[in-house]
Chains A and B, each alone.
Chain A
Amino acid sequence: MSPFGAAIAARILDEAEWRPEPVSGARLLVRALEREGVRHVFGYPGGAIMPVYDALPGSSLQHILVRHEQGAALAADAYGRVTGEPGVCLATSGPGATNLVTGIANAFMDSVPMVAITGQVASPLMGTDAFQEVDIFGITLPIVKHSFVVRRSADIPAVVAEAFALARGGRPGPVLIDLPKDMGVMVAGPAEPAARVELAPPVDGQALAQANALIAAARRPVLYVGGGVAIARAERSLRGFAERNGLPTVATLKGLGAIPTDHPLFLGMLGMHGSHAANIAVDECDLLICVGARFDDRATGKLDSFAPNARVIHLDRDPAEIGKLRRACVGVAGDIGAALDRLSARPDAVAWRERCGRNMRSTAPRYDAPGNGVYAPALLRDLSKAAGDRAIFTCDVGQHQMWVAQHCRFSRPQAHLTSAGLGTMGYGVPAGIGALLADPDATVITVTGDGSIMMNIQELATVRRYRLPLKILLLDNSQLGMVRQWQELFFAENFSEVDLSDNPDFAEVARAFGIEAFTIDHRDEVSGAIERLLRTEGPILCHVRIDSRENVWPLVPPNSSNVQMLERTW
Chain B
Amino acid sequence: MSARVGIEFVPIEGALVRLLGLIERRGFEVRGVRMAERPCGRSATLSVDVSPRDPGRRLDVLEQQLRRLHGVQDITMPTAKAPA
Contacts and interface: CB of A to CB of B under 8 A. Distances in A.
A487 to B, nearest CB: 29
B17 to A, nearest CB: 7
B13 A142 contact: no
B76 interface: no
A53 B10 CA distance: 33
Nearest to B13: A149
Interface stretch (A317-325, A382-390, A443-451): A317-325
Given A137-B14, A147-B14, A320 B68 contact: yes
A177 to B, nearest CB: 12
Interface string B10-34: 1001100110011001000000000
Given A137-B14, A141-B14, A141-B21, A320 B70 contact: no
A166 interface: yes
B19 to A, nearest CB: 10
B61 A324 contact: yes
Of A148, A166, A171, which is in contact with the most chain B CB atoms at under 10 Å from its CB?
A148
Given A141-B21, A142-B21, A145-B70, A323 B13 contact: no
B68 A146 contact: no
Q: Which of B18, B41, B70 has the most CB of A within 10 A?
A: B70
Contacts of B64: 319-320, 322, 324
Contacts of B60: 323
Interface string A146-159: 11110100000000
A141 to B, nearest CB: 6
A2 B70 CA distance: 11
A12 B48 CA distance: 40
Contacts of B61: 320, 323-324
A320 B65 contact: yes
Contact of B67 (A148, A319, A322): A319
A3 B42 CA distance: 10
Interface residues of A, number: 21
Contact of B25 (A142, A146, A148): A142
B57 to A, nearest CB: 11
Contacts of A319: 64, 67-68
Interface string A1-43: 0110000000000000000000000000000000000000000
A371 interface: no
A141 B65 CA distance: 14
A2 B22 CA distance: 22
A309 to B, nearest CB: 22
A319 B60 CA distance: 11
Nearest to A320: B64
Contact of A138 (B10, B17, B25, B68): B17
A151 B13 contact: yes
Interface of A: 2-3, 137-138, 141-142, 145-149, 151, 166, 170-171, 318-320, 322-324
14 contacts: A2-B10, A3-B41, A141-B14, A141-B17, A141-B18, A142-B22, A142-B25, A148-B13, A166-B70, A318-B68, A319-B67, A320-B65, A323-B61, A324-B61
Given A2-B10, A145-B70, 10 more contacts: A141-B14, A142-B21, A146-B70, A147-B14, A148-B13, A149-B13, A320-B65, A320-B67, A320-B68, A323-B60
